[in-house]
Structure 1
């Protein structure tokens, strides 16, 4: 028995597949731009209950590993790792474009998959090749020589750029559906190593047109405990001593804790984790991904937090910063934080060196 699921793009799906009888016992599919972390566990329970299968009966776990959205890819992989660890089972991870290709009828060849990657780019795969990310106009030159079929959320853009009649649009499904790709997970080889996300575009690669953007396009929303893995991944991009997902989950579950994500087109660019007690609040950690810095995103997060705290009647907000982190101190001073104290040798730095912590406070009343 195999459990397969996907959260990598604008949908969430799960299926239970009987490898011996080669058929799907239960499946669910739901379109969603966000909320995958909250939807996945109930969806998995639903298909397991309908199939009449207990978790110990599973022989392997199948999951997509990207490309896709940062949050979505992480959500699926975190669930797969958790189940595999609890059940002592192996994971089969396949790329998202292979999962989309599973939607197409077997006789529709050659098959091209084009998924929207934004920035006038697509995630591209032709005839089952490994996915790549590239501009739409460049993808035209990588099409099979003969007339081909195409699926994916980037299909229209590629059809428009290609010579007329070169591509035939299929309507079998533009997003991964566990009902269809579960059979691939049953036949793919398992790995002893846990799956790693496949993003294709490096997380610290700054887009050419990124310069000049402001925080006006950034949306702020509260993060749930189910998104601890996402916060952990963002933290790892920004700090040498990264906090693990379990540590984030524990902190986020504490009374008075609140975490916020800053997103652009559903892609998380920054986060903030704070805790409040006795009329005061403290920012435990705040970080912006390297390529998204100097756009005022961290300031927008702190302003949002300050507003929420004022509404709740709190009067002071604290934060600690390494004494030699002049950039962060300047940011906090720009948010009306002032120095109120120092903690000697508070931070442990690489090489065993200790660094003072500067305590800063912002009056909210």
Structure 2
């Protein structure tokens, strides 16, 4: 079984491939913007390096956010289309859960995504259990962290910079391709559909000021 993992939710455009023998091939470029133009050529290059065809894929994992609005749409749409063409399973990977995995087992851990506009997306893991992700304003963030994770809760992610010095920041912000591949192989496709998770609805409006569905 061969697995492909894709991340286009941040400044990097990352594609990673794991082959049946356990070997891995990874391409990652810090492009900022332009994921739509770079993603397909990078995946094609990866297939050539590994000497396989797309039909060899059995699983495709894609980061579904929270992250860049445009980048998330690009990655999810590409992964869905490729999975349909290859008859592979498509798995949505939570950016917050990927960062939590990279942090390792902790008694209490909060992963925070900087949602801008004085807000973060927050998810807490404590004693092996997790809350659902939630949007929180910065003015009540620390009280919420203590409520969910306790005073010794560790923090990480792009939003951790907004937390006071009383919380230890692990400093993990970038997604590790190895973690993406591992979760692509472990997670259930039925329980983790490739559905985008946006920090907030798009600012764009349809004619007449109607918000798109």
Listed as ranges, the gaps of 5+ residues in structure 1 are 205-233, 239-286, 292-365
Listed as ranges, the gaps of 5+ residues in structure 2 are none
1:50/1:137 Cα in 2 relative to 1: closer, same or farther (>3 Å)? farther
Structure 1 position 14, deviation (Å)? 1.2
TM-score (norm 2): 0.82
- 2:169 matched residue in structure 1: 169
SS in 2 for 1:113: strand
> Does the alignment pair 1:145 with 2:145?
no
Structure 1 position 193, deviation (Å)? 9.8
d(CA) in 1 for partners of 2:7 and 2:209? 25
- 2:120 matched residue in structure 1: 122
d(CA) in 2 for partners of 1:74 and 1:82? 12
Check the 8 A contact 1:67/1:200 in 2, yes or no.
yes
d(CA) in 2 for partners of 1:177 and 1:99? 8
d(CA) in 2 for partners of 1:55 and 1:98? 27
1:203-282 matches, cutoff 5 A: 203=202, 238=206
Structure 1 position 49, deviation (Å)? 2.8
- 1:12 matched residue in structure 2: 13
d(CA) in 2 for partners of 1:12 and 1:109? 32
TM-score (norm 1): 0.50
> CA offsets per residue over residues 186-223 of structure 1, 9 Å max, x none?
1111139963321142346xxxxxxxxxxxxxxxxxxx
SS in 1 for 2:27: strand
> CA offsets per residue over residues 163-192 of structure 1, 9 Å max, x none?
x43x22223x40333332221111111139
SS in 1 for 2:42: helix
d(CA) in 2 for partners of 1:289 and 1:4? 37
Cα RMSD, aligned residues only = 2.6
- 2:62 matched residue in structure 1: 63
d(CA) in 2 for partners of 1:33 and 1:288? 32
> Does the alignment pair 1:36 with 2:38?
no
1:66-77 matches, cutoff 5 A: 66-77=65-76
d(CA) in 1 for partners of 2:74 and 2:31? 14
d(CA) in 2 for partners of 1:32 and 1:131? 28
1:192/1:24 Cα in 2 relative to 1: closer, same or farther (>3 Å)? same
**Superposed structure 1 runs of 4+ greater than 4 Å apart:** 287-291
d(CA) in 2 for partners of 1:11 and 1:137? 30
d(CA) in 2 for partners of 1:68 and 1:203? 13
Structure 1 position 150, deviation (Å)? 2.2
Higher relative contact order (CA 8 A, sep 6+): 2
1:142/1:75 Cα in 2 relative to 1: closer, same or farther (>3 Å)? same
SS in 1 for 2:200: coil
Structure 1 position 5, deviation (Å)? 0.5
Check the 8 A contact 1:10/1:32 in 2, yes or no.
yes
1:76/1:140 Cα in 2 relative to 1: closer, same or farther (>3 Å)? same
Farther-moved stretch of structure 1 (113-122 vs 124-133): 124-133
- 1:185 matched residue in structure 2: 184
